[in-house]
Amino acid sequence: MESCDGISEGKVMANIISDETIEYVGILAKLELSDEEKEQAKHDIGRMLDYVDKLNELDTSGVEPLSHVFPVHNVFREDVVTNGDEREKILANAPEEKDGAFKVPKTVE
């Protein structure tokens, strides 16, 4: 079976994701995964990297790196204040608030 990324499901993956890697990626992404989810994620990430390997087969020497998908540049604002005080609306998104501020668990430097 061919999936949409052109890599067949049954094929043995070239990229094997280790337990340490999945643990590390989980920490970076602030995700807590169950053992089952970790196995699934290892499999998925491995396949993604296989796909990237496939893309890397293309000879791109002499091609400028793409920095944006749209052929647009220089979208600017003038330096003029356009926003007023919308604290009430902004704080409506806060899980908790106190004295006009977002209240969060204690952070230590």
Partner 1 sequence: MAKQYETVIGLEVHVELATKTKIFCGCSTAFGGAPNTHTCPVCTGMPGSLPVLNKQVVEYAMAVGLATNCQIHQYCKFDRKNYFYPDNPQNYQISQLYLPICHDGGVEIETAAGKKVIGIHEIHMEEDAGKLVHDEWEDCSLVDYNRSGVPLIEIVSEPDMRNADEVIAYLDKLRMIVQYLGASDCKLQEGSMRADVNLSVREVGSEKFGTRTEMKNLNSFKAIARAIDGERARQIELLEEGKPVIQETRRWDDNKEYSYPMRSKEDAHDYRYFPDPDLVPVVISDEWLQAVRDRQPELRTEKLARYKREFDIPDYDAGILTESKRMADIFEETTALCGKPKKVSNWLMGETLRLLKEENMEPDELGFSPAHLAKLIELVEAGTINQTVAKEVFERVFYDNADPEKYVEEHGLKTVNDEGELKRVVEEVIAANPQSVADYKGGKDKALGFLVGQTMKAMKGKANPGAVNKLLKELLG
User: Quick check: 19 binds partner 1 (CB under 8 A)?
Assistant: no
d(CA 74, CA 99): 39
User: Quick check: 80 binds partner 1 (CB under 8 A)?
Assistant: yes
User: Quick check: 63 binds partner 1 (CB under 8 A)?
Assistant: no
Binding-site member from 12, 28, 55, 58 for partner 1 (CB under 8 A): 28
d(CA 13, CA 11): 6
Stretch that binds partner 1, among 1-9, 13-21, 55-63, 92-100 (CB under 8 A): 92-100
From 10, 11, 21, 20, select the one nearest 45 (Cα to Cα): 21
Cβ-based neighbours of 45, under 8 Å, separated by 6 or more: 15, 17, 22, 25
Binding-site member from 34, 58, 59, 70 for partner 1 (CB under 8 A): 70
- The residue ranges that bind partner 1 (CB under 8 A) are 24, 27-28, 30, 67-70, 72-83, 85-87, 90-91, 93, 98-109
